[in-house]
Structure 1
């Protein structure tokens, strides 16, 4: 509209002087407007194609998200299965450790028994040695007794002792004495025999008991070795399961990260779809405005031609009015650039930063239509904070400008703005490291990939 008013003022100023050829002015303006309408229609077609591409891309992304979630479910199931197996393995290891502990206790008990038996053996050796000495002395005593009996004629001497009695009382005494001696000899022989048997029995008992204990200990040691081997196998299985668990958890982490990236990409696609819809509406409004301007210009030309035919001043000049625009943009703020266009921190910085404080008025870099406005808390535009997108048409080429990190916004979607008109105030909203204005220029519509961004330096006056 402002462009139309500018043309109208120029026409009204010149018409009285007769220095303009109205037919040429009308043709020139009409051609420019027709070119703008054609450009906007072409852009509408491009937007439709882009919308179709975004729809397909979004559907493909949603399918990838579903596949990712299915794979996450599968990995989680595998993790649960491994976790159950790990739990069972840990229980088995604990059981084996308890069995090994019991076995060690048994081995300690058997070792104690063996030590006790060894002590008994040592004591028995001493007892046997004493018995052997007593037996030896007894054997010597018995030997002396036998020699004495043999030298005195054997049992006949006992008869002589008995028959040598002086009286009956003496006989009884002598008979009793002989019996006592014979009983003592008999007892000595019996004790001698019992003690020898006792020594032999004790030797056999201790030997058998020690052999049994040592056999039991060997069996327990074999059992312990088997348990240690089983525990080692379980430890190896646990290590394998731990490694599998670690791998699955790493895979799950990668899948979750991929899911977050896909979700973010899906959100950016949805943002871009929304922006495209608003850009489509803005372009349609620009087309309607251009058509209206064209009709008004044609109506003015027809009225002037009618006046001329009825005797008005026809004018003799061949001068024409052309679009004074040179395809360049005005600076949105009067300030120096603190950060240029290009790669920064591993990604594309798709615009330039103007060093201004919070609250500085930001003007539209050219006349156009506001595509959309974005607030910091609406979760869109990926860290741009408060932002405004404006659609422009210059020399048959469509552009989109972006103004980001604003502290406030003064326009609304679908609004027509003129060059330099205030659209908001600079700020520090979104992913900003300090107060400034971030400004971008895109050929055509804005897209999240920023593939059509250009260096604003090359387009600013």
Structure 2
């Protein structure tokens, strides 16, 4: 980021401090005064240089503090990312547990339904067994009643005599045997029927008892499964609560991470600005160092001029009949944009045009507008390739600026004379077409005035 205001202040310090000792000095005493002024300005530059050293040290401290904060934030962000990773894993684990719990609940519900069906089947079986037992009891009751009737008839008719009559009424021995066998069969059949009915009743009763026991076991299993289901459902509620807490924690951690990252972005931007300031300070220190050298050259030139005047013992001539007409035009060309407010062709807003533009082709020869010392000869942001010259004319310091050049043919600290070729015009920087931008600053840079009244 280019800090134009900082550069403007830097250039102001540079160009207000260089006073060119021209041949238009009024007298030897004037030169003495100018030399003393230059020496004072040189000391001021040294003081400014020391001040910049202090600013550089303070800025370096801020840079180190910024880096320390960035490192701390980096560690905090890394810690938050680890916590987020752990939280996400925990949430995933809880989701898996909840899924497993849901599956378990589904299985338990299925088992409960199976047991309900099994209980219902057992109830039906018990019902059928009860019915079967009832039927057997009826058969046994009827059989017992039949036997009782037979016994009552035997008792009523003389008990065993009837049997004897049956036997004694035999017509032959074989008939006797047959009758005896028949009576035996009847009695055995009655006995067998009674035993069979008693056994069937006992079997069914045992089966009923077993089924009832099975039903009790199944009902107990059902109760146990329902208890397990309740436990699992409670576990599911607990897991969902834990998941909700983890999701909330995840949101908090993510918010903290975003805040830290925003602060990190701010610190990084601050570091960029501090770094640019550091570069600006370094640039200003270089300019001041070059300016000190220019001052020394200016003092030497003033001393030389003083000696020349002492030898001639006369005042130098003033070549300008118009005290304001002190600069020659740096190029030959048509004025395309005057000094003052205008609609900027690039930034699309009204702003002051600090100089005048000459519509000249790229490569047009550029000449020094007056004697002076080159203070800047480099790329200068929106000005593109730029040359600035410090002049001292009739006891007054001036700075001239020529911008958007295609080439620069002088260097910082170089002494130039009026009309000397110093470069070529062009279309560099913020420019919409080939031209020369020319500014005049009485007293030093950052005091632009309309150049036209100062032109010869």
Matched, 1:117 2:115: yes
- Give, in whole Å, the separation in 1 of the partners of 2:273 and 2:352: 20
Compared with structure 1, are the counterparts of its residues 276 and 331 closer, same or farther at alpha carbon in structure 2 (3 Å cutoff)?
farther
Which residue of the partner structure matches residue 95 of structure 1? 93
Matched, 1:179 2:182: no
State the 1:210 CA deviation: 0.8
3-state SS of the aligned residue for 1:454?
A: coil
Structure number with higher relative contact order (C-alpha < 8 Å, ≥ 6 residues apart): 2
Compared with structure 1, are the counterparts of its residues 54 and 352 closer, same or farther at alpha carbon in structure 2 (3 Å cutoff)?
farther
Q: Structure 2: where are the runs of 5+ without partners?
A: 1-19, 168-175
The answer (yes or no) to whether the contact 1:268–1:382 under 8 Å persists in 2 is no
The answer (yes or no) to whether the contact 2:327–2:369 under 8 Å persists in 1 is yes
Matched, 1:224 2:270: no
The answer (yes or no) to whether the contact 1:51–1:276 under 8 Å persists in 2 is yes
Which residue of the partner structure matches residue 369 of structure 1? 373
Matched, 1:48 2:46: yes
The answer (yes or no) to whether the contact 1:43–1:444 under 8 Å persists in 2 is no
The answer (yes or no) to whether the contact 1:428–1:436 under 8 Å persists in 2 is yes
Normalising by structure 1, we get a TM-score of 0.78
Number of residue-to-residue matches in the alignment? 412
Q: Structure 1: where are the runs of 5+ without partners?
A: 8-26, 303-318, 446-451
3-state SS of the aligned residue for 1:457?
A: coil
Q: How does 1:79-158 map to 2 (within 5 A)?
A: 79-153=77-151
Compared with structure 1, are the counterparts of its residues 382 and 271 closer, same or farther at alpha carbon in structure 2 (3 Å cutoff)?
farther
The answer (yes or no) to whether the contact 1:370–1:388 under 8 Å persists in 2 is yes
Name which of 269, 276, 286 aligns with 1:257. Answer: 269
Compared with structure 1, are the counterparts of its residues 253 and 436 closer, same or farther at alpha carbon in structure 2 (3 Å cutoff)?
farther
Which residue of the partner structure matches residue 255 of structure 2? 243
State the 1:174 CA deviation: 3.0
State the 1:54 CA deviation: 1.8
State the 1:270 CA deviation: 1.1
- Give, in whole Å, the separation in 1 of the partners of 2:153 and 2:419: 158
State the 1:61 CA deviation: 1.3
Matched, 1:277 2:322: no
Q: How does 1:310-325 map to 2 (within 5 A)?
A: 321-322=317-318, 324=320, 325=323
Which segment drifts farther, 393-402 or 61-70?
Answer: 393-402
Q: Deviations over 1:133-154 (max 9, x none)?
A: 3334334333433443444448
Q: State the superposition RMSD in angstroms.
A: 3.5
State the 1:192 CA deviation: 2.9
